[in-house]
Amino acid sequence: MDFKKITDEIVQKSGGEENIVSLSHCMTRLRFIVKDEKKPDLEGLKTIDGVISAVFGAGQLQVVMGKNLLPAYDMIMKKYRFSGEEGGSMPEKEKKPKTIKSLLIDLINFIAGSVSPMITGLIAGGMLKLLLMIIVMILPSFEKTESYSLINFLADVPFYFMPIFVAYGASRKLGSNPIYAIFVACVLVYPGFVALVENGGTTHIFGLPVLLIKYSSTMIPALLSTVAVYYLEKFFNKIIPGILKSVLVGMLTVLTASILTFVVFGPFGNLIGNIVVGGFLWTQGTIGPVVVGLLAALLPFLVMTGTHTVIAPFMVQSFANPGYDPYFKPALILHAMAEGGAAIGVGLRAKSKTLRSEALAIGFGSIFAGITEPAIYGIALKYKKPLIGVMAGGAVGGIVAGLFGARAYIMGKTTILAMPIFQETLITMLIACIVAIVVSAIVAFILGIDEGEQLKQQNNVTSTPRVSESETQIVSIVDGVSFPLSEVKDEVFSTKAMGEGIAFTAKDNVVVSPCSGVLTTVFKGGHAYGITRDDGVEILIHIGINTVSLKGKGFNIKVQQGQRIQAGEELVTLDLDYLKTTNLDLSVLLIFTDPKEKEIQLLGYGEVLNGQNPVAEIK
């Protein structure tokens, strides 16, 4: 490879030398900080010889080079001498003036990021309510028991104390002190204040009127109060002398923020919430069916671009007030049904047995497990035509759901098995799901896909010498849970640009080798390892997303580059307590970066033990 030519093209298509502030790298990617993110040509970068992919992520232009990384990095640094530290964090980008568009994007990202952490809690509470509802349907007398009452209290917690959960998520998003934010949010649901609200009348604080409003199950007041905490804390830290900071900053921050929340932000946030609810009710009575259909049809693109998280705040607001969701949860479920239907349509039409079994498995997984990423990236986006079926199925199913008034009353999973959350509209939603599956399957079946190249490759495969069973197995690298690579929150890994693989959520702090071979690469930060098997197959172990920025903190390396290792041998131990405080994605990835034309067969997902459970076979 001509790395001089390759790197010159990379710099040019990154916006030119003058657009690059700094450069560093991790195990697989060149990481540029650029002045203007509009100048890099991502599609052009992807066409350069030796470049696997190019994406923006974590505020960086990331050019994925794989095994070509180090020669490319060395050539660029030799010729251009950009600033930046290998494997380290980079200087902040130059601040650019804010536009209305950028401010709106920042606002949406802030709200979505603030609400997202509590979604799992809302789902847990919703599923508890669903469990109680099913038990009462079978055994009506259970509703009068003390057990029912206590579990019902538990199920109400994430909804009643929503301001506290919102404050926690918003403080994490802003980077402020979460204790101060939660402190101020707690006063909105404090029993004494709730009693004042229930008794009615008026009250004042330092002569300023305080509207007695019920803030339980609200979202916007806590968002505003946390923003106030963030700026007030910075202000008081700036003006108060160092010796008094520990005594006065916290007290003045929570006191001032609470007064502002009682007098201004609480009532204003409540007003905005009521306007949003009014908008929901108006659209439901006028263009409701169109809204559900359009949202379900557009969801594949929202998921692909990662903007589907903007739905979360509105969905949460719907469950809080008016108490049901006629749009967002129905659309999300119908999108999953349409993805599954399209994959089934592809499977029924496929000539290749491998593709048929894979597509059918993906389709049923989307419908019954609610896991849509394999269907999106492995079927719809990969073959293009099935995407039309997904949109058609989502649109028609959404219109049916909207016309007949399907409503989700409880937060639940995005699967056909969650139909009870629709309560008296269950039959309506079930019909809409069936319509979405059937329409998308029919459209995908009729349009078909181009299997010519895939079949050609299968027919041209030459036989290879058999190896022993032990040499074919790849074992789990952690104690924990394995899941599809397509669910990783990183485009390069999830789209399998680096290769086929499997992801893990680690429950223990040890990461081991998945096979025997030679450690050809040990990244000095400890977050990535390259292993070459005796048959030449190259495997990458990558711990976390953007963990290169930690400069090795939290990673205790147990091996050396060039060392021969055995399957199950320790590579690194992790300081999970510290790593969890970084708020980085800690998914542990096993990627087959160069399978040497061998077939990689994944063996399913679930609970695994390091060095024991096979997770893949190389044939």
Q: Which two tokens stand for residue 455?
A: 């079949």
Q: Which two tokens stand for residue 227?
A: 């923003």
| Regions of the chain where pLDDT drops below 50 | 85-94, 453-470
pLDDT score of 51:
84
Residue with tokens 């505003």: 224
Per-residue pLDDT tens for 259-291? 999 999 999 998 988 887 788 778 877 888 898
pLDDT score of 315:
81
Supply the pTM of this predicted model.
Answer: 0.55
Per-residue pLDDT tens for 67-107? 677 788 888 888 876 755 443 343 444 455 667 777 777 77
- Structural contact between residues 541 and 588, judged by C-beta atoms closer than 8 angstroms: yes
Looking at the chain, the domain(s) classified CATH 3.30.1360.60 span: 3-80
Per-residue pLDDT tens for 23-34? 877 656 787 888
| Topology, domain 3-80 | Gyrase A; domain 2 (3.30.1360)
How many angstroms from the chain centroid is the CA of residue 452? 34
Helix (H) or strand (E) holding 572: strand 570-574
- Structural contact between residues 90 and 60, judged by C-beta atoms closer than 8 angstroms: yes
- Structural contact between residues 615 and 502, judged by C-beta atoms closer than 8 angstroms: yes
- Structural contact between residues 435 and 397, judged by C-beta atoms closer than 8 angstroms: yes
> What is the Cα–Cα distance from 539 to 537, expressed in whole angstroms?
7
List the catalytic residue out of 26, 186, 433, 515: 26
Burial status of residue 206 (CB atoms within 10 A of its CB: 0-12, 13-18, 19 or more) = exposed
26 is catalytic: yes
Looking at the chain, the domain(s) classified CATH 2.70.70.10 span: 469-618
DSSP state of 202: -
In this structure, CATH architecture of domain 469-618:
Distorted Sandwich (2.70)
* Integer CA distances (angstroms), 612 to 88, 137, 505, 616, in order: 34, 43, 16, 12
DSSP string, 123-172: HHHHHHHHHHHHHHHH-GGGGGSHHHHHHHHHHHHHHHTHHHHHHHHHHH
Residue 484 preceded by cis peptide, ω within 30? no
Per-residue pLDDT tens for 284-309? 778 888 989 999 999 888 766 556 66
